[in-house]
Amino acid sequence: VNEAGVVTYKKKPTSELMAAIQLGMGQSIGGLSSITERDVLMQDFVVVQSVFFPKEGSNMTPAHLYSDFRFKTYAPVAFRYFRDVFKIREDDFMMSLCDEPLQELSNPGASGSIFYITQDDEFIIKTVQHKEADFLTKLLPGYFMNLSQNPRTLLPKYYGLFCYQCGGKNIRFTVMNNLLPSGIKMHEKYDLKGSTYKRKASKSERAKSNPTLKDLDFNENHPEGVLMEKEYYDALIKTLNRDIRVLESFKIMDFSLLVGIHNLDLAAREKANVSLQRGKSFKTRLAQFSTALESITAKADIDDENEDENFPPGGIPARNSRGDRLLIYLGIIDILQFYRLKKRIEHQLKSLVIDGDTISVHRPAYYAQRFAAYCANRVFKKMPVQLGIVFAYLS
């Protein structure tokens, strides 16, 4: 926020940024329809399309009210293929991103990235640093191979990478899947890394109405972890382990598991208290295999046990230690940091001061192993069969 009270990013009012990137994306995605669908070739990963948007308009671009800008689209054909893997229709994608104003999300992270969410709740736009954008372009062929082999993954789904250039500034951003549907109340939200060092949400974060908590907060709130029935637990851990191996192979670290917890029993009590709460019906999502439940199971369809339209879709059923019925929404986020020399030095310096094992900045293999162990042994637990029967009997 600048002196005039205007929200800015790299000194650009975010309202102008938002409008300009919507124009840019619209032109870019719309223009793709003239390139016929075909297999992705190696050279598609390195293509960068660049279009100039003068204020007065051109034969390719509409006139607009902002400063002249240039809009770049990275690997347009490759990203179109990713969207196709997730069965996102191009006109739906364009409408979601360009037709309605985006909503800015507050970011609890330290990086200063801005986040926008589309009105239909489907996509998140996150600004990324130059290095992160470069890294994503390098990652694309491997990521492509991985997705084609297996769309059931909790890795972030990148649907686009763009750059807005204006007045010598470059603002790069990705479009990805939204993990936490805003129509479903998340009673708790955690950003987990499997580390304990500095992994407690700040006081100011905890004071928010919907804070993003961290590892130590989770350990305190769920001393026995979150319980899942065997089939869900096994499917989740199998998916996570495979994803973590991919991240480790790219020497990626510092990623998090974002976990949203909807407590069905609490929600029922809240509903009983609030008489005038209008039931928002849950819309079907544009992207397939994209809910937490679909990401870990082989089925694209949700359990038909819960055909009740008031039952929130897409979450993985679980229980807390009190037996409350939970739905878990989750995915891996922030994967564009890879292990660099700077990190190594940072790590060595910190190890001198604090026990190296508890620091979140760590060698990728160690980071991956600790992350996996934390998820499989501490955060999620397999529900003992007897306990499952007792819970089912009580509810």
Residues that bind Ca ion in the complex, under the rule CB under 5 A = 111, 334
Q: State which residue, 201 or 326, has the beta carbon closest to ligand ATP.
A: 201
Rounded CA separation 141/74 (Å): 13
Nearest approach, Cβ of residue 288 and Ca ion (Å): 27
Binding mask 164-183 for ligand ATP (x = CB under 6 A): ------------xxxxx---
Instruction: Give alpha helix (H) positions in 152-214.
Output: 203-206
Of 82-90, 110-118, 200-208, 301-309, the segment contacting ligand ATP by CB under 6 A is 110-118
C-alpha–C-alpha distance, residues 14 and 385, integer Å: 52
Residue 316 binding result from ligand ATP, Ca ion, none, given CB thresholds of 5 to 8 Å by partner type = none
Residue with the shortest CB distance to Ca ion:
334
- Say how far apart CA 257 and CA 236 lie, in whole Å: 12
CB of 128 to Ca ion, least distance (A): 8
Can residue 109 be called a binding residue for ligand ATP (CB under 6 A)? yes
> Which CB sits closer to Ca ion, 122 or 334?
334
For 123, the token pair is 């996509």
- Select the residue whose beta carbon is closest to ligand ATP and give its number: 109
Closest by alpha carbon to 216, among 366, 360, 383?
Answer: 360
CB atoms within 10 A of CB 89: 11
Among 97, 257, 258, 267, binds ligand ATP (CB under 6 A): 258
Using rule CB under 6 A, residue 394 touches ligand ATP: no
| H-type alpha helices, the chain | 14-32, 76-85, 90-98, 130-149, 203-206, 215-221, 230-249, 264-273, 292-296, 341-353, 364-373, 385-394
Give the whole-angstrom CA distance, residue 147 versus residue 152.
8
- Name which of residues 334 to 353 contact ligand ATP (CB under 6 A): 334
The listed partner (ligand ATP, Ca ion, none) that binds 217, CB under 5 to 8 Å by sort, is none
The whole-angstrom separation of Cα 193 and Cα 368 is 9
Q: Which one of residues 212, 290, 295, 297 is an interface residue with ligand ATP (CB under 6 A)?
A: 212
Q: Is 127 helix (H, G, I), strand (E, B) or coil?
A: strand
Structure tokens at 372: 């996996």
Who contacts 139 (Cβ-Cβ below 8 Å, separation ≥6)?
Answer: 250, 336
Closest CB 241 distance from Ca ion, rounded Å: 21
* Residue 165 near which of Ca ion, ligand ATP, none (CB within 5-8 Å, type-dependent): none
Q: Does 110 bind ligand ATP (CB under 6 A)?
A: yes
Residue nearer to ligand ATP on the CB measure, 263 or 337: 337
Binding partner at 330 among ligand ATP, Ca ion, none, C-beta below 5 to 8 Å by kind: none
Contact positions vs ligand ATP (CB under 6 A): 107-111, 113, 115, 124, 176-180, 191, 212, 256, 258, 333-334
